[in-house]
Structure 1
Amino acid sequence: MDDNSGKEEEFDTKGVGLFIANEGAYSRSTASLSYYDPATKEVQNEVFARANGMKLGDTANYVAMFGNKVWIVMNVSNVVFAINPDTFKEEGRITGLNSPREIHFVSESKAYISQFYDNRIAVVDPSTCEITGYITVPGMDDSLTASTGPMVQSGRYVYCACPSYQKKIVKIDTTTDKVVDELEVGIQPIAIVLDRNDNIWCLTNGGGWEANPVGYEAPTISKIDTGSFKVVETLSLQLGDYVKGLAIDGSRENIYWLNSGVWKMNINASALPAAPLITTDSYSLYALTVNPANGEIYVADAVDYQQPGMVYRYSTSGSLIDKFYVGIIPGSFCWK
């Protein structure tokens, strides 16, 4: 992370906007933040650096909005930045982390930050940006397999997927900050979302490669009842499918994922769709989001993972509306 002072630009954005966290090339501190206005189709790149006179740092892993701030999780730089969503100015930072992955906000005074190669989830106070404690995840003592990732919440419980060489989701009681249960799913749960019925949908990548020590299988999409904390349905994709991303629309009735195209499935479906909503073999599809207001789909294309990536904007029916360049490896979105 480069803290050298530089020229600071003034921004004052209004209305609905989309933030894109661009990971950047690993270990080269080329992470960046982009901002897109759907109404004007205007994109602004490097907005954090331009507004603050310093670069984000190494590997922007996740971006989220909470408490009128945008939070940017910097994995390799071990910091989470809080910025103003209109001016992009820094308003705080959380330090002392170990390869942070994602942040989930429990309340105005509590958030959880999952970590890579660490069996602890950090508990932080967003109002002070201070670490207040840790949640230790049982059964993950080896540093290679000790990683936590995406999180969702239903009632007092937060559910956290363990994506690296694991096949489980853990259940955390937010009143005690302790793991109270765990559930086995497919190999390497990489994404989870919560639907309108308080069911969790979990996407696993099946291990990703044949020599994976935890195993190699077809990717799966599982439906989990949060009341019983049991898997009630599992749909298997094809062995060797390369899946990424999982998103849900604003009504929380349809889920979307990437697999050589964009797939869409209603939460009441009992079988996988026969064909993708959007078909393409030309993109290195890396992440996606759905505009919660109108259902438009935004897909990130990492291209060759070295040059600026692209974001494609589609209608609800899959027609291309717009496309624009962003930073290197666009990997996470959040809406303002």
Structure 2
Amino acid sequence: MRRQHLYLLLLFGLLLSSCRKDEVIYLSDAHQVAPPRVGSSIEGFYLLNEGNMGMNRATIDYFDYATGVYTRDLYSERNPNVVKELGDVGNDLKIYGSKAYAVINVSNYIEVFDVATGVHIEKINVPNCRYINFHNGKAYVSSYSGPIQVNPNAEVGFVAEIDTTTLKVTRQVSVGYQPEEMVIQNNKLYVANSGGYRVPNYDTTVAVVDLTSFSLIKKIDVAINVHRLQVDKRGDIYVSSRGDFYHTEPNLYVIDSQSDEVKQKLDIPVSEMTISGDSLYYYSVAFKHSSGQNAISYGILDTKSKKIVSDRIIKDGTDRNILIPYGIAVNPDTKEILITDAQDYLVTGFVYCYSPEGILKWKTTGGNIPAHIAFVRKKKP
């Protein structure tokens, strides 16, 4: 009888512990993927894995250049008391000062955490938030505003201004339908309005917001379904259009930030891009419903001449192993190129690191849909 009671007690204890999920500590998964390196102003980078919508699978990884160690799901380990961990669909990640800001789209908030420790600081609620940028102590977050659904009557989106000291929303301005990425130039905020929920009646504009008055001053007509924005050293703004996936091809346009007019159409399909020095690195995953296939390409554009200087970022043939390129970043110090692979969007993805010459240096497993990279700089003494 005593032995039977003991078994019952042990069983009860196991059932009780399995129900206490709030006390579970999640262990990260760390592996050395590269030789240790010191002497750089870049300490490492955070990587935000988007995770499939509705599955609460957004995670954050970290790579440390000094040790060469890549750590998966660092956020969960550092924040065991955060309910549901990071949330649903990580859409953007940037660092400003000592804080990192992860935009969690479907969960409707921005996760703010400490760059040095990865520990949670605050959640800022913004509905259907998309992308983030910073200027003079303020964060700017684009929002679709309404619920996640295709709707010909979808609401006009807005940009929320957040004070990076108090982490409170201070102002907001309406900009257009389903706003996406933003850049800042000459004290003006440029916002790509996609109109993606109103398909086939996409928005075609880039909104221009005066940051002093925080008011809309102009809309620049560019092309349908605009998405990505980058600005070069001369103030030229690069705008990607995703097209309509049927007849209108994706393309890249250039806006003159002095006149706020489109000055060039480059006839380059671009899904994601990043600028380092005078080089714009890009890739394209151009899907067509008519064929059901993706056309994948890579390239480097000279931002001075607006000419393609290379149609190959990867020179060793390993691009054949990348099923769906989904993120790109260039180390500001070493010019190493980082490209992520979402695979089929369902399984675990990969992170590739290439030399400036396009030769693979290392590869590692990321999370589900690895996407957004933010470099961590050393603190100045």
Matches for 1:63-102 after TM superposition, within 5 Å:
63-95=93-125, 97-102=126-131
2: CA distance between counterparts of 1:218 and 1:274?
A: 21
- Residue 150 of structure 1 aligns to a residue whose secondary structure is strand
Offset of 1:131 from its aligned partner?
Answer: 1.6
Work out which of the residue numbers 212, 221, 244 in structure 2 matches 1:175.
212
Counterpart among 141, 149, 159 of residue 113 in structure 1 = 141
Gap runs ≥5 in structure 1: 141-145, 211-215
Q: How does 1:40-51 map to 2 (within 5 A)?
A: 40-51=67-78
Map of 1:302 onto structure 2: 342
- 20-29 or 32-41: bigger deviation: 32-41
- The question of 1:255 aligning with 2:280 is answered yes
Residue pair 1:66, 1:105 contacting (<8 A) in 2 also? yes
Q: 1:8-64: per-residue Cα shift (whole Å, max 9, x none)?
A: 779xxx961111110111111011001112343311111111100131010111000
1:145-198 CA-partner distances (Å, limit 9, x unpaired):
x21111111121111111233221111100011110111112222211110111
Aligned to 1:26, what secondary structure does the other structure show? coil
> Residues 302 and 308 of structure 2 are in contact (CA less than 8 Å); yes or no, is this contact kept in structure 1?
no
Q: 1:83 to 1:159 in 2, by over 3 A?
A: same
Residues 145-294 of structure 1: matches in 2 within 5 Å? 146-163=177-194, 164=196, 165-207=202-244, 209-210=245-246, 216-237=247-268, 243-249=270-276, 251=277, 253-259=278-284, 260-273=296-309, 275-278=311-314, 280-283=319-322, 284-294=324-334
Q: Give the RMSD, CA atoms, in angstroms.
A: 2.0
- Greater Rg by CA: 2
SS class of match (1:48): helix
Give the 3-state SS of the residue equivalent to 1:16 in structure 2. strand
Q: Distance in 2 between matches of 1:277 and 1:177?
A: 39
Does the 8 Å contact 1:34/1:45 carry over to 2? yes
SS of equivalent residue, structure 2 residue 165: coil
- Deviation >6 Å, runs of 4+: none
Q: Could you say if the C-alpha distance between residues 206 and 189 of structure 1 is closer, same or farther in structure 2, counting changes exceeding 3 Å?
A: same
Q: Which residue of 1 aligns with 2:355?
A: 315
Q: Deviations over 1:45-100 (max 9, x none)?
A: 111111001310101110000021111110011111111112100112212x1110
Give the whole-Å Cα distance in 2 for the aligned partners of 1:322 and 1:73. Answer: 28
Aligned mates of 2:218, 2:66 — CA distance in 1: 45
Question: The residue matched to 1:206 in structure 2 has which SS?
Answer: coil
2:59 maps to which of 7, 32, 52: 32
* Alignment partners' CA distance in 2, 1:219 and 1:181: 24
Secondary structure of 1:236's aligned partner: coil
Q: In structure 2, what residue type is equivalent to 1:150?
A: E
Letter in 2 for 1:266: D
Q: How many residues align?
A: 310
TM-score (norm 2): 0.77
2:31 matched to which residue of 1? none
Counterpart AA for 1:202: V
The 5 Å alignment of 1:50-65 reads 50-53=77-80, 54=82, 55-65=85-95
TM-score (norm 1): 0.87
The alignment partner of 1:21 has SS state of: strand
Q: Is the 8 A contact 1:34 1:47 kept in 2?
A: yes
